[in-house]
């Protein structure tokens, strides 16, 4: 699985002009299931993200995790993280999981994050979404369970 995480002061996602998910301080997690991904990889990624020490401590150093600060996660499916740009100018997305598998793993990942005690909000799988955020730092990190 691939994830792009952004430390945020707040974030929200809209579908057709209606806010369907919003958080305060925490992480915006853009997530993509790749072909062959499993629930084990979703569990591994959820655990890793929950423990990343990327929030400031009392000394201003990145030394606290999402769990430590009591932050939330806005989890948005984004198959374009599977983009293959090696040839030509049009990205290919053949490495992304099939839609049914992608949706199943997206929902599983969201539950796995929630099971770690992190409040979650979601986008809508397969929808055209408008995501708004205030990136804190900025801090943006790419994670891939295959690397």
Q: Decide if 120 contacts 110 (C-beta within 8 A).
A: yes
Task: Give Cα 21 distance to the centre of its chain.
Answer: 13
For residue 127 the two structure tokens come to 């929808």
Q: Any catalytic annotation for residue 120?
A: no
pTM of the model: 0.95
- Which member of 79, 109, 110, 120 is catalytic? 79
Place of tokens 């401590």: 57
Q: Any catalytic annotation for residue 110?
A: no
| Calpha distance 73→123 (Å, rounded) | 11
Going along the chain from its start, the domains and CATH numbers come out as 2-144 (3.50.80.10)
pLDDT tens track for 84-140:
999 999 999 999 999 999 999 999 999 999 999 999 999 999 999 999 999 999 999
Task: Give Cα 97 distance to the centre of its chain.
Answer: 16
Q: Any catalytic annotation for residue 55?
A: no
């Amino acid at each position: 699985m691939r994830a792009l995480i952004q430390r945020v002061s707040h974030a929200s996602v809209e579908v057709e002009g209606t806010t369907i998910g919003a958080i305060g301080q925490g992480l915006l997690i853009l997530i993509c299931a790749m072909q062959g991904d499993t629930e084990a990889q979703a569990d591994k990624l959820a655990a890793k993200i929950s423990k990343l020490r990327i929030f400031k401590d009392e000394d201003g150093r990145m030394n606290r995790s999402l769990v430590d600060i009591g932050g939330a996660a806005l989890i948005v499916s984004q198959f374009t993280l599977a983009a293959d740009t090696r040839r030509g100018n049009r990205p290919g997305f053949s490495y992304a999981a099939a839609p049914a598998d992608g949706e199943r793993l997206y929902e599983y990942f969201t539950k796995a994050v929630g099971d770690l005690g992190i409040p979650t909000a979601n986008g809508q799988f397969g929808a055209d979404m408008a995501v708004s955020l205030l990136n804190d730092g900025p801090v943006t990190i790419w994670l891939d369970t295959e690397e």
